Structure 1
């Protein structure tokens, strides 16, 4: 199997299943650090803890394959706002997001962000009125009404992926930038403090009942999806 590395001008997206059989889970769990095992035990729901550990083990497995080391040898560091980075000489950047039984892992040779959301019942219209920029609300509440919930999650995942790409997290207001949807894709219309055209935005349809997105710092990038099991 070839290394899971993005090529020039592209970012790599992997949709990962978090519900795996014991025979698959056990080697993933063995690669975790003591701190990661402690985090798994901190979950009140053991099933949620197992899924988190599966995602973490798969992250280690993919990163190890990318840079040519063993999963337990992967060292992950965190920036001031919690953005993770791997210690390697590949110039590799990554971001991981998980929701429900799926995770999205995005790899790039530039800063990247990932977000995945299961379509859970929520008062999404109220959330949008509170957190979306005016232009996003205009797109969201435009007819047809039947497509509004899907547009909500598409905008939301793009916005979250942008925050993870910049590494600003809660330090940036969700109203300080705008995602623009168009047929088959999305872009960053404007963003305070940065040049919006420098970012590439990729909505992703991972599975029915889920929305996801990847954002990368770079123009004219291409998204390539890859299977990992």
Structure 2
């Protein structure tokens, strides 16, 4: 078996959307907790109840998705963290991962092309809690942002923010890095490639970067950055507390509506699943492995 037998293919970056369960959904919360490591459970226990569900679903999603790409069981996946907290998969240097979460949704990005970062932000009114624009924008970015339509100013702010933080997370610095040094032009779009006009010196000049907006619906702004690849973006949904399980038949596209799950209505087929093979665990199956969920490739059309 080759090291990338479970994908992603060269040139691809996969982004998995993991909706946060409802606060009263204790059954799903319990399934998520069963996927956490002892260290993650210790962190969960010291959180406020309002934060526990999002933490559990996000980190269970990261562990489940990573397991599918490595052929391990979630309990066998071991993460190590860099100086600024960026996660790496122990023993799998070619598999690049990134996690981001905000109220209602988490994203897990996976690539084998190069350093990868993902960020998701919930669109909300700008207030004094946000950093001053001159701490986020370069002068020309701030001018572009201020000259745009006032009705979309808040959403565009978070588009810039998501793009910048995705790049900084790919670099491994996160928000300890300089947001103003990452200069981007996301425009009004919800998805598609984003021009990068400037990068911090630490990014180097010997590799091409790919930055793309990820459409998770109008309530969010999200972006994924890959150093040296990730030109083709594929996006999937994973129900909280489940394992990725590509169908032997057809994956169905969907979209996020106003709720936290996939919207009902017509769905577009995407063809036979060839992205992540069924996990091939090393060693015995855990006594209480969670059931496999139905992973869906998502198609976002006509969303404003």
TM-score by length of 1: 0.89
1:25-72 Cα offsets, whole Å, 9 max, x none, are 32321121221111111112x131122011111111111111111111
Which deviates more, 104-113 or 86-95? 86-95
Partner secondary structure for residue 16 of structure 2: strand
Please state how far the C-alpha of 1:135 moved relative to its aligned partner. Answer: 2.0
Match of 1:199 among 194, 202, 209: 209
1:84-123 Cα offsets, whole Å, 9 max, x none, are 1012447211000000010011101121001111123333
The structure in which a higher percent of residues are helix is 1
Please state how far the C-alpha of 1:220 moved relative to its aligned partner. Answer: 6.8
Closer, same or farther in 2 for the Cα pair 1:4/1:224, shift >3 Å? Answer: farther
Residue 115 in structure 1 maps to residue 125 in structure 2 = no
Match runs of 1:202-217 below 5 Å: 202-217=212-227
1:67 touches 1:88 (CA, 8 Å); kept in 2?
no
1:177-216 Cα offsets, whole Å, 9 max, x none, are 2112256431211123133972111112212311111111
1:151-193 Cα offsets, whole Å, 9 max, x none, are 1111110001111000022442212221122564312111231
Equivalenced residue count is 226
Please state how far the C-alpha of 1:144 moved relative to its aligned partner. Answer: 2.3
Task: Pick the structure with greater CA Rg.
Answer: 2
Q: Give the structure 2 partner of residue 33 of structure 1.
A: 37
Q: For the aligned residues, what is the CA RMSD?
A: 2.3
TM-score by length of 2: 0.68
Match of 2:58 among 55, 58, 63: 55
Partner secondary structure for residue 207 of structure 1: coil
CA–CA separation in structure 2 for the residues paired with 1:161 and 1:202: 9
Match of 1:151 among 130, 147, 156: 156
The structure in which a higher percent of residues are strand is 1
1:137-158 Cα offsets, whole Å, 9 max, x none, are 1221123222222211111100
Q: Give the structure 1 partner of residue 234 of structure 2.
A: 224
2:12 touches 2:229 (CA, 8 Å); kept in 1?
no
Q: Give the structure 2 partner of residue 190 of structure 1.
A: 198
Closer, same or farther in 2 for the Cα pair 1:82/1:126, shift >3 Å? Answer: closer
1:123-146 Cα offsets, whole Å, 9 max, x none, are 389632332111211221123222
What are the ranges of 5 or more consecutive residues in structure 1 without an aligned counterpart? none
